[in-house]
Amino acid sequence: MIETNDLTKKYGELYALDRLTISLGQGDVYGFIGPNGAGKTTTMRILSTLLNPSWGEASVCGYSIYTGSKEIRRAIGYMPDFFGVYDDMKVTEYLEFFAAAYRIQGPDRRKKVNQVLDLVDLGYKRDALVTSLSRGMTQRLGLARVLLHEPQVLLLDEPASGLDPRARIEMRELIKELRSMNKTIMVSSHILPELADICNKIGIIERGKLIFNGTVDEAIRKVRGNYVFSVSVGPDRNPEAASRIGAYPEVESVQPDPKTGTLDVRLKDGHEDGSFLPERLIRDGFRLKGFKEKEVNLEDVFMGITKGITN
């Protein structure tokens, strides 16, 4: 559905996008992650045919960005980070205006407007003025607008930007619903834990270069390295327990975590199962208060892979 090969955008000596190569199939939800100025918006603008690349190839739904811009625009829904709305219109008027622009005529237009309003859970606001909507509602209205013509591909640039926690959850659930409809979605976001919940693939971009491209599990394995387990025996016995655990042949290192008062136990290469830890600690006379594998989330992945460099 989306293919790029050496896609590049250059401004003078600055590479806004440097030889981007990705491939997304139908039903893929691709989390596009990177700091401000990394090239995420540039990529989406090129894919939506709003910006010409300096060189490289890209196609959407089989159409080249160079020769098939009209076909691509019919096939995609592009929601930018910030978009203008007509404040003096009612919600239904706003959507009917854009439905007419998509050449949806007659009774089908009102039917389609009602369908997208129900999908984004804004049906109860159909007669409200756009200016009266909250930021979260406006974001959902923007998403409703790009869904009117039933696009196969969605390009969502920071759809949860500026939203409060409840609105972010609602937006996440809405993207999950779109995923269940087998749409191909490229979504950029700074709210990394939520991307892990909705994406099957991620790309991490920094200073225009794609530095990771794969599944969330692959990214976690790349950053985590050896398995780490959190062990709690009580702060008064931590030094003794650390000494005992450090002598186990499967253990590479033991470090106290001053924030939680627990011990971080890192296993040696080739060891994944830490179930021996509680067994041996109890056998050695310790009272185990807590034991779990330390999870690596997308924030850890992002910090572990990127260097904090921006254009």
Please report, for the chain, the start and end positions of each structural domain, with discontinuous segments joined by +.
2-214, 223-300
pLDDT (tens digit, 0 to 9) for every residue of the chain, 311 residues total?
A: 899 999 999 999 899 999 999 999 999 999 998 888 889 999 999 999 999 999 999 999 999 999 999 999 999 999 998 877 888 899 999 999 999 998 998 889 999 999 999 999 999 999 999 999 988 889 899 999 999 999 999 999 988 877 788 888 888 888 889 999 999 999 987 667 667 778 999 999 988 999 999 888 788 777 766 788 999 987 788 889 999 999 999 999 998 888 888 899 989 888 888 999 999 999 999 988 899 887 776 777 777 777 765 55
CB atoms within 10 A of CB 60: 26
Q: At what angle do helices 91-101 and 135-147 cross, to 10 degrees?
A: 30
Instruction: Give residue-wise pLDDT tens across range 24-51.
Output: 999 999 999 888 888 999 999 999 999 9
Give Cα separations from 53 to 39, 46, 173, 176 (angstroms): 12, 7, 33, 31
> 285 Cβ partners below 8 Å, 6+ apart?
none
* Residue 243, burial from CB neighbour count under 10 angstroms (0-12, 13-18, 19+): exposed
Architecture of domain 2-214 in CATH?
A: 3-Layer(aba) Sandwich (3.40)
For residue 264, give the H/E element and its range. strand 262-267
Residue type, 220: I
Measure CA 180 to chain center. 16
* Cα distance from N-terminal residue to C-terminal residue, the chain: 29
User: Could you tell me which CATH class the domain 223-300 is placed in?
Assistant: alpha beta
Whole-number Å distance between alpha carbons of 11 and 39: 12
Contact 148, 102 (CB under 8 A): yes
Query: Which positions ≥6 away from 151 have C-beta within 8 Å?
Result: 74, 75, 76, 77, 183
Strand order in the sheet with 228-232: 251-257, 262-267, 228-232, 290-293
Cα 146 to Cα 63: distance, rounded to the nearest angstrom:
19
